[in-house]
Amino acid sequence: MGDPVVHFQVVGKDAQALQSFYGEAFDWQIELAVPSAPQESGYYAMAHPGGECGINGGIGQAMDGSAGHVTFYVAVPDLEATLSKIESIGGSTVMGPMDVSDGASIAMFADPEGHLVGLVKAES
């Protein structure tokens, strides 16, 4: 069995507009990741599509001020080993492993055409 896609992320210049758009377009529940953050601060929100086969994601402001991108995250058992494999087949590491909220660890790579893809350390 392959490694599953477990999360998606949509980031751009106007987090609030993107959250409103996706919430309205697909009836997703949008919940601020940090409820006390002022809306004009480029806050990040969790998107909960619901349904039996949907995956949760996040919608927020691009950190680098770019026009943004869409990224999906794949759960893997070992971030370092996966990045090493990716580099051996033509991809490149964009961000090495780092710990994020709730004890999760993530990393990011670019495929041979430059598409950004995320990795999440699979829970054991």
Domain limit, last residue, from 52, 69, 86: 69
- Which DSSP symbol is given to 3? P
Mean model confidence pLDDT for the chain: 86
Same domain, 59 and 83: no
SS3 35: coil
SS3 98: strand
Question: What do you get for the CA distance between the two ends of the chain, in Å?
Answer: 16
- What pLDDT does residue 28 have? 92
Same domain, 3 and 58: yes
Residue 75 pairs in a beta bridge with 120
- Whether 97 and 79 have beta carbons less than 8 Å apart is answered as yes
- The 10s digit of each residue's pLDDT in 38-96 is 555 557 899 998 877 789 999 998 877 777 888 999 999 999 999 999 999 999 999 99
Its pTM stands at 0.75
- Whether 120 and 7 have beta carbons less than 8 Å apart is answered as yes
The CATH number linked to 90 is 3.10.180.10
Say what percent of the chain tops pLDDT 90: 47
Instruction: State the Cα–Cα distance between residues 52 and 16, nearest whole angstrom.
Output: 27
